[in-house]
Amino acid sequence: MKKFTSVSDIENLQEIIKKALEIKENPLSETEKGKGKTIGLVFLNSSLRTRLSSQIAAQNLGLNVLTLNAAQEAWNLEFADGAVMNGDTVEHIKDAIEVLNQYCDIIAVRCFAGMKSKEDDVNESILSQFEQHAKVPVISLESATRHPLQSLADCITITENWKEERKPKVVLTWAPHIKPIAHAVGNSFAEWMQEMDVELVIANPEGYDLDKKFTKDVKVIHNQDEALKDADFVYVKNWSSFDDYAAMPEVKENWMLTNEKLANTNHGKVMHCLPVRRNVELSDEVMDGGNSIIYQQAKNRIFSAQAVFSEILDEIN
Ligand code: CP
């Protein structure tokens, strides 16, 4: 694997899921693989799971880890090409990446959607600069439009929880939120599920359809109860409007996932990438109930990252 920014960088999804599950059984099986190599984890946005799971995964492989919480600890970065830097920005992203090239064998970066310019976000204005200027493999720790390490962890979690012959019904359901949220997790989940042997349905209110680039021909239902019927997995996530970019059109029905709604499913297992707003996106009873596999999903972030870092090391070693 030369880079990891989307599902298209994976040669064989089932193989990497299998590898991640083997790593989960024996996380210290490749402690020499990263010896003498350095991974730079660059966070332009907040994180708990991605930061810590990536650090654990890298340490399990013997990699040196540099973590830069750029928003808090680095110089104020300029992203615009040709900018006259006579304002608040101190260092251009191009220069920062050139320096990271000298220090790191792998660069991993988190760069969320700015949610101000649809064009900048859909064109991955920041990740694309890393891809353009990095001379070492680039890994996405969540970008404007995708969260691939999360999606791989989601695939691992569904695989662990599905032992029947038939395809599971997986419902990605929109949930309420108090502010406009980016589309990366929803887009990415939709994209990866289309590579899995599942029946995927997306449920969201009118005005909240995700970008067709990611959902393609997946069935989108604007009635949550109808979509949830007989679901084997229910993936809860908020996102803002894509068409009316970053807007929050009014939703009259209650879309928060509750036990009452879950009763309509086939004992559906509940998933969420976290962090979650309890009693806004889903109820306490769902979060703390027996159907939740959300913490298992969070644990699998380690093995998702470790499988990807291991494949990247195969390429550069
Ligand atoms: N799910 C996830 O990416 O969590 P963090 O934002 O805490 O990294």
Distance CA 303, CA 149 (A): 9
- Torsion angle, alpha carbons of 274, 158, 174, 217, to 10: 140
Q: Give the model's pLDDT for residue 59.
A: 98
DSSP three-state, residue 190:
helix
Distance CA 233, CA 268 (A): 5
CB atoms within 10 A of CB 307: 28
In what side-by-side order are the strands of the sheet with 169-174?
219-221, 199-203, 169-174, 233-237, 269-271
Is 110 annotated to bind ligand? Answer: yes
Q: How far is the CA of 150 from the centre of ligand 1 (A)?
A: 8
- Of all protein residues, the one whose alpha carbon is nearest to atom 1 of ligand 1 is 273
**How is residue 307 written in tokens?**
């499988």
Q: How far is the CA of 298 from the centre of ligand 1 (A)?
A: 9
Q: Give the model's pLDDT for residue 71.
A: 85
Is 168 annotated to bind ligand? Answer: no
Contact 108, 54 (CB under 8 A): yes
Contact 79, 129 (CB under 8 A): yes
CA atoms in the 13 A half-sphere facing the CB of 223: 3
Residue of 42, 45, 53, 142 to mutate, ligand 1, most atoms within 8 A of C-beta: 142
Distance CA 101, CA 104 (A): 6
- Of all protein residues, the one whose alpha carbon is nearest to atom 4 of ligand 1 is 49
**Tens of pLDDT, residue by residue, the chain (317 residues):** 999 999 999 999 999 999 999 999 999 999 999 999 999 999 999 999 999 999 999 999 999 999 999 988 889 999 999 999 999 999 999 999 999 999 999 999 999 999 999 999 999 999 999 999 999 999 999 999 999 999 999 999 999 999 999 999 999 999 999 999 999 999 999 999 999 999 999 999 999 999 999 999 999 999 999 999 999 999 999 999 999 999 999 999 999 999 999 999 999 999 999 999 999 999 999 999 999 999 999 999 999 999 999 999 999 99
Q: Cβ < 6 Å from ligand 1: which residues?
A: 47-50, 142, 150, 273-275
What predicted TM-score, i.e. pTM, was given to this entire model?
Answer: 0.98
Q: Which helix (H) or strand (E) holds 203?
A: strand 199-203
Is 255 annotated to bind ligand? Answer: no
In what side-by-side order are the strands of the sheet with 106-110?
64-69, 38-43, 106-110, 138-140
Is 47 annotated to bind ligand? Answer: yes
* CB environment 8-34: b (16+ within 10 A), e (fewer): ebbeebeebbebbeebbeebeebeebb
